[in-house]
Chain A
């Protein structure tokens, strides 16, 4: 069965009622985004001198980076550990990471006051800054992701270059470039695959270091020197659930048969990974004795409890159960819970836990902030749909096709 699976562009109508709805959300979001660039951060956001960071950093950037973890975890499993069985998942995961990180970059671009200086960290270095580390690693990793994606471009267009109009003259040369790329990439791709995983480990953990400097301003339920480790472990845990969720969503949306066997097999890893995360989180809690803050009922303690129970403990139990893993619906729900847990964890760390000593009123995101965030997510979905219809990303049964072994990110 698996042996005649091959990634090919999906043939399907692009616009459906659901897609049109998502496009409208994207349009509203981009309108607010325009307002931000025309009139400044204050005009669109509820940010102020008490709360300098809101959901654009907490969700668009911090949660965005975490949820793009499927890219590096799947690449590690498929290419470094050479589990060819999971090969069919690597390309979709890579695309998600690519889009995810692109939008993380957009998120940063939107949030910083002087967006036109976004290149400054490339030449102005401050090695003491956790933000600098995150910024540089994300820039490098984004480049690596685009390189890793190139084979899908060469595979799609090699020998089929057909530029319109006067550009026809370039057909031959473009094809030649694609051929050269294909040959070279094949030989050097392993360098980028490993670099991608290393860079991910680095910035996923440094993302956790980011809020440590806020010191006493951060609620003790979250403030701990092991935040980098916790962020890394939670990124490991959410990678595969993201891949599972996307795979199931895509097959539903395109009316294809879900790759259930592979996904069930992949889901075995999630339980142990979540278990390690939970152990680290609880261990830290007992060493720092921060559990005393759970005795008082307030926003922080409630959010922390929701994060842990719904986002970690329940899905952990679900992923340990073979019955859930064998069942598409169960798998989908369990994956969504892990995703929700990590999303909430990042939001809690960056927004809920931040408790400045002087305030007027507490921060709540403005309509504009919410719509820009939703707009980015909507755009990501629209682009994902377009990409899988243009490029050979999703594996589908093809008569007589033989799956390629070794690095599957490779041309024809």
Chain B
């Protein structure tokens, strides 16, 4: 009895081995290589200088206006009451500004604009079940609403927790997020928020130029900035990057490592399926076992 159990067990393990063989072949190197090849060296980005931002929230107004939402009167945006609560981007406003105390200069609070970071290797693009999300050559991460099935896996995947969903709609609920004003920039215009910013806290340009600008600023004003560009290397790099006077974690930026946003999920996925070899091998293995055990059964029958 016991001997038989062990033999069954070994067979089960053998079958299992087939399925997971792909997994053992994984290496972090593969994960890093994913999808980098399609990115243009000239892709665009925005540098957000939080030491310059005055918290006027005109970017919020312009964003709503650009995307066809009721933006209301721009004067109402000077109401500073809203800073009492931390806010997140929502269905009808793809960017918000939050305010933080500044212990160094109490009269100059720090304002931080929040929107989609437009990752170079976006988790949402990797996750989307129907491939509705895509990373464009200009750096923007956009999505095709018509394909969306509303599964919200992009929201689970996004390391910055950006996409939002219209939970109150029974028919055609949308996923919403900053689209980098993809349509405006295609026509040669600036993204809405960048255009309206009265203090040039936002700089639109080629991503590599922005990094050079940021490095120059940090070099010229070492007292003004900490020596870090958030988004330069986080999750493999993002199109939107930030400069600040204090540690980014004080401003609720998520602590992220430098490996790409989809993590190891893609390499695992490709490991299990690697050219359909593991599934076919498993099929063949099981077929073999079926055939052998069937014949054995027949022989048993004859013996009896």
**Which residues of chain A have a CB within 8 Å of any CB of chain B?**
37-43, 45, 47-50, 52-53, 76, 79-82, 84, 111-115, 117-118, 120-121, 124-133, 135, 190, 193-195, 197-198, 201-202, 205-206, 209-217, 225-226, 228-229, 232-233, 236, 268-269, 272-273, 276, 354, 356-358, 405-406
**With A229-B23, A236-B12 already in contact, 15 other A-B pairs whose C-beta atoms are closer than 8 Å:** A41-B173, A43-B168, A47-B167, A84-B297, A130-B265, A130-B268, A190-B287, A194-B283, A198-B286, A202-B272, A217-B156, A225-B268, A228-B23, A229-B20, A358-B252
Query: Given A213-B157, A272-B5, is A82 in contact with B19 using a C-beta cutoff of 8 Å?
Result: no
Q: How far is the CB of A319 from chain B (nearest CB, A)?
A: 12
Of chain A, the residue at the smallest CB distance from B90 is A49
The 10 A-B residue pairs with the shortest CB-CB distance in the complex, in nearest-first order:
A113-B150, A42-B167, A126-B131, A124-B130, A52-B152, A52-B155, A40-B170, A82-B293, A113-B173, A114-B150
Query: Given A131-B127, A228-B23, A272-B5, is A81 in contact with B263 using a C-beta cutoff of 8 Å?
Result: no
Of chain B, the residue at the smallest CB distance from A123 is B130
Binds A, one of B40-48, B158-166, B205-213: B158-166
Cβ 8 A contact of B152, one of A42, A113, A125, A406: A113
Contact of A197 with B286 in the complex, beta carbons under 8 Å: yes
A217 to B156: give the CA distance in the assembly, Å.
9
Contact of B129 with A202 in the complex, beta carbons under 8 Å: no
| Chain B residues in 8 Å Cβ range of A197 | 286
| Interchain residue pairs with CB less than 8 A apart (28) | A39-B170, A41-B173, A48-B167, A49-B90, A49-B155, A52-B155, A53-B152, A76-B15, A80-B286, A81-B293, A82-B294, A112-B149, A112-B150, A113-B152, A113-B165, A114-B173, A115-B150, A117-B147, A125-B130, A126-B128, A128-B269, A131-B151, A194-B287, A225-B264, A229-B23, A269-B8, A272-B9, A406-B294
| Chain A residues in 8 Å Cβ range of B23 | 226, 228-229
Contact of B168 with A40 in the complex, beta carbons under 8 Å: yes
Cβ 8 A contact of A76, one of B1, B130, B286: B286
| Chain A residues in 8 Å Cβ range of B272 | 133, 202, 205-206, 209, 228
The binding surface of chain A is classed by DSSP as: helix
Q: How many A-B residue pairs have CB under 8 A?
A: 219
Q: How many residues on chain B are close to A (CB under 8 Å)?
A: 75
| Chain B residues in 8 Å Cβ range of A198 | 279, 282-283, 286
Instruction: State whether the Cβ of B110 lies closer than 8 Å to any Cβ in chain A.
Output: no
| Chain B residues in 8 Å Cβ range of A128 | 34, 125-126, 262, 266, 269-270
Contact of B165 with A232 in the complex, beta carbons under 8 Å: no
A135 to B153: give the CA distance in the assembly, Å.
12
Contact code string B1-27 (vs A, CB < 8 Å = 1, else 0)? 100010011011101100110010010
A209 to B125: give the CA distance in the assembly, Å.
16
| Chain B residues in 8 Å Cβ range of A193 | 290
Contact of B294 with A135 in the complex, beta carbons under 8 Å: no
Contact of A126 with B130 in the complex, beta carbons under 8 Å: yes
Of chain B, the residue at the smallest CB distance from A356 is B161
Cβ 8 A contact of B156, one of A53, A121, A127: A53
Instruction: State whether the Cβ of B261 lies closer than 8 Å to any Cβ in chain A.
Output: yes
Contact of B268 with A212 in the complex, beta carbons under 8 Å: yes
Contact of B129 with A131 in the complex, beta carbons under 8 Å: yes
Cβ 8 A contact of A209, one of B13, B261, B268: B268
Cβ 8 A contact of A213, one of B1, B150, B156: B156
Contact of B16 with A81 in the complex, beta carbons under 8 Å: no
Instruction: State whether the Cβ of B37 lies closer than 8 Å to any Cβ in chain A.
Output: no
| Chain A residues in 8 Å Cβ range of B131 | 124-126, 129
Cβ 8 A contact of A126, one of B129, B169, B255, B282: B129
A198 to B88: give the CA distance in the assembly, Å.
43
Contact of A201 with B269 in the complex, beta carbons under 8 Å: no
Query: Given A49-B88, A49-B155, A214-B157, is A194 in contact with B290 using a C-beta cutoff of 8 Å?
Result: yes
